[in-house]
Structure 1
Amino acid sequence: MGTTWVILIAVVALIAGVALGFFIARQYMMKYLKENPPINEQMLRMMMMQMGQKPSQKKINQMMNQMNKMSDKK
């Protein structure tokens, strides 16, 4: 009878730990993406204009493709 309770408590603790870990990781990722949004075409266009370049759609597409390739390698 004593080992059944130990196993039951261990299983409940494991399930609670997984659930708690999931919600903590989810909250952390939501906070991270809110503070550091992924770069999109509009942000890229603004950065290029701030650097004094006139961005064409072709150049923006090339830079987005290059950034996607770099993120795929990681």
Structure 2
Amino acid sequence: MSTIWVVLIAVVALIAGVALGFFIARQYMMKYLKENPPINEQMLRMMMMQMGQKPSQKKINQMMNQMNKMNDKK
């Protein structure tokens, strides 16, 4: 009977550890991406120049605002 309790406690602890680890990792990644966005204005300007477009500051601001709106919806 005591072996069943040990196994049960081990399984519950494992499940709790996995769930807690998942949420901690998720929070860390969300914070990291908010502080270090994957695309910034400089990268956007360079991509537009590579595509043959002359980027104006207004167009870059519009694209950054659009990307921020999409990130906020998620």
The reply to whether TM is greater than 0.5 is yes
SS of residue paired to 1:70? helix
Structure 1, unmatched stretches of 5+, are: none
The percentage of aligned residue pairs carrying the same residue is 95
**Alpha-carbon distance in structure 1 between the residues aligned to 2:34 and 2:65:** 23
CA distance in 1, matches of 2:73, 2:27: 26
Q: Deviations over 1:5-55 (max 9, x none)?
A: 000000000000000000000000000000000116775228999999954
Counterpart Cα distance in 2 of 1:71 and 1:33: 10
Cα distance change of structure 1 residues 54 and 70 upon mapping to structure 2, 3 Å threshold: same
Equivalent residue pairs, number? 74
RMSD (CA atoms): 5.2
Q: Specify whether residues 34 and 58 from structure 1 end up closer, same or farther in structure 2 by C-alpha distance, changes over 3 A only.
A: closer
The more displaced of 59-68 and 24-33 is 59-68
CA distance in 2, matches of 1:49, 1:9: 59
SS at match of 1:55: coil
Q: Partners of 1:63 and 1:41 in 2: how far apart? A: 9
TM-superposed deviation, 1:67: 17
State the TM-score, normalizing by the size of structure 1.
0.58
The TM-score, its normalising length taken from structure 2, stands at: 0.58
Post-superposition offset of 1:62: 20
